[in-house]
Structure 1
Amino acid sequence: MPSGTFIHYRTPGILIFGMVLAPCGWVLDLTATVAPNWRTINDIDGEPIGTFLQQGIWDICRATTTSRDIQCNQQDEAYFNEQIIEIAQAMMVASLILTLIGLAVAIPGVRCWRERPNWTVAGLGGLLIFLSGVLTLIPIAWYTHILTDIAAASTDIRVGYSIILGYIGGIMEVLGGFVMFIGICRCCGGRNRSENVVADTGKSTRNPSPPRRITIPSINRTRSTASSVPYSKDSFDEIEFPRANVNGNRSKASSSYGGQPYDADL
């Protein structure tokens, strides 16, 4: 390799993909965990029309369609005694913690300050992120499956937005952790790891094309001997034009002039 050549290793795309999806999935999972809207119960018996309940795994809130006031910390022992609630609380918290651990492990393995990434460390972090996504999807899917079987004060039960966010966050973590983990296996000739070295010699590899030469044709102009003027150009050198009289006496100037008269003077 010639001197003065610098080697640049491209950051593997699978690591970038995983390191972007994992934090985004963690934020969505955190929102799904703390938000009290895993399901919404409408048309509650003994309550005014328009009153509905938003139930999560940590809290229950009461609201109405005619007001923006929301009353949380509602008590419902039958709901919180359900087995799925306790399991969802434990698995969602474990998923959040495991995602942070996976990111802490994967960051030193990703090539940010080294020539090549540590695929073993990065793959281990990706495995932890993958498991955290699985821990999120299990309670979310279980809760959705038995949505109407959980104790409720009404039969009008709808899925809350926390379920949607939990699904999206869990899938993002599963995909991000999986693509980081497959970096441990070298396949496709190392192309999955972006192991294509790019040499930069500091000089342009393209040969600059020489400037285009433009030939301008020369035009020789010959002086025409024919002229419609009764006198030639050289005759102006022999003519002595009269000068204006300073005293303003035009008659004396015309009488003192002794040159040859012209047609214009007649």
Structure 2
Amino acid sequence: MRLSLRTPGILIFGMVMAPCGWVLDLVATVAPNWRTLNGISNLPSDNFIEQGIWDICIASTISSGAQCGQADTQYFSNKIIQPAQGMMVASLIVTLIGLAVAIPGVRCWKDRPNWVVAGLGGLLIFCSGVLTIIPISWYTHSPPNITTPNVNTALITPRVGYCIILGYIGGIFEVLGGFVMFIGICRCCGGKNRGEVRVEEVMRRREPKTPTRRVEVPNLSRARSAASNSSVPYSRDSMEDDVPPDCS
């Protein structure tokens, strides 16, 4: 079945959502703002602590600068930190592998996409989104259990940082994009579930419709009836009289 050269919409959707999710996950992994701690007793009132999975910073509400690289072995020894580091890095790597697998299967320069290859790439992208959402959800639902020195987390309510929000959005982007690309493997409905249209149908739609020309065809029965009802009598003998005799 020859198909139109237009790239199916589900592949375009997946190839757009996956890189956007990867960028958001990268920011969520690197930036040290998974949660913020305000009202620390041994710090000025305008200072607060920003904690991530790789770094800790002390920032201020009256200045844009921040003192990063704070040593906190107790915080990094929590059981959530190391799994979160590994899963976020694995998510970034799996997303890149999924894009590398899906790109050759997407129809951009061929008559027909390779749905199996594109679907496998979508499956990898879907798994990378899951790898992002798991540590983000785990970290969000266990702030009181994440201890840090000289801070009584029972008296201070930790606030969710922007990395959590970006991580959620990036993970959802990857899950949606990967799932939509993966369902393209299904070979049902004659390819219409994948946005495929036959080339013949596309060309038929593009061809201008020429108006039909009406041709008048004489009615033979009417002509015969007119000849039979003629008022001039003809006979075979009269026709023979009109023929000149042969002089030879």
TM bucket normalised to smaller: 0.7 to 0.9
Q: Which residue identity lines up with residue 116 of structure 2 in the other structure?
A: T
Q: Which residue identity lines up with residue 15 of structure 2 in the other structure?
A: M
Alpha-carbon distance between aligned partners in 1 of 2:75 and 2:144, rounded to the nearest angstrom:
12
Extract unaligned runs of 5+ from structure 1: 1-5, 211-266
Q: How far apart are 1:45 and its partner, in Å?
A: 1.5
Count residues with an aligned counterpart. 205
Alpha-carbon distance between aligned partners in 2 of 1:114 and 1:55, rounded to the nearest angstrom:
48
Does residue 58 (structure 1) correspond to residue 54 (structure 2)? The answer is: yes
Does residue 204 (structure 1) correspond to residue 200 (structure 2)? The answer is: no
Alpha-carbon distance between aligned partners in 1 of 2:69 and 2:147, rounded to the nearest angstrom:
17
Overall identity of the aligned pairs, in %: 67
Q: How far apart are 1:103 and its partner, in Å?
A: 0.2
The Cα offsets for residues 34-58 of structure 1, whole Å up to 9 and x where unpaired, read as 0000000000011111110000000
Structure 2 residue aligned with 1:171:
172
Structure 1 residue aligned with 2:94:
98
Structure 2 residue aligned with 1:142:
138
Cα gap change, 1:65 to 1:92, in 2 (>3 Å): same
Structure 2 residue aligned with 1:70:
66
Does residue 151 (structure 1) correspond to residue 152 (structure 2)? The answer is: no
Query: Any conservation in 1 of the 2:4–2:197 contact (CA below 8 Å)?
Result: no
Q: How far apart are 1:85 and its partner, in Å?
A: 0.4
Bigger CA radius of gyration: 1
Query: Any conservation in 2 of the 1:40–1:54 contact (CA below 8 Å)?
Result: yes
CA RMSD of aligned residues (A): 2.0
Structure 1 residue aligned with 2:24:
28
Q: How far apart are 1:82 and its partner, in Å?
A: 0.6
SS at match of 1:41: strand
Q: Which residue identity lines up with residue 77 of structure 2 in the other structure?
A: N
Extract unaligned runs of 5+ from structure 2: 214-248
Q: How far apart are 1:122 and its partner, in Å?
A: 0.5
Structure 2 residue aligned with 1:86:
82
Query: Any conservation in 2 of the 1:14–1:192 contact (CA below 8 Å)?
Result: no
The Cα offsets for residues 118-166 of structure 1, whole Å up to 9 and x where unpaired, read as 0110000000000000000000000001022201414131000000000
The Cα offsets for residues 102-130 of structure 1, whole Å up to 9 and x where unpaired, read as 00000000111111100110000000000
Query: Any conservation in 2 of the 1:109–1:122 contact (CA below 8 Å)?
Result: yes
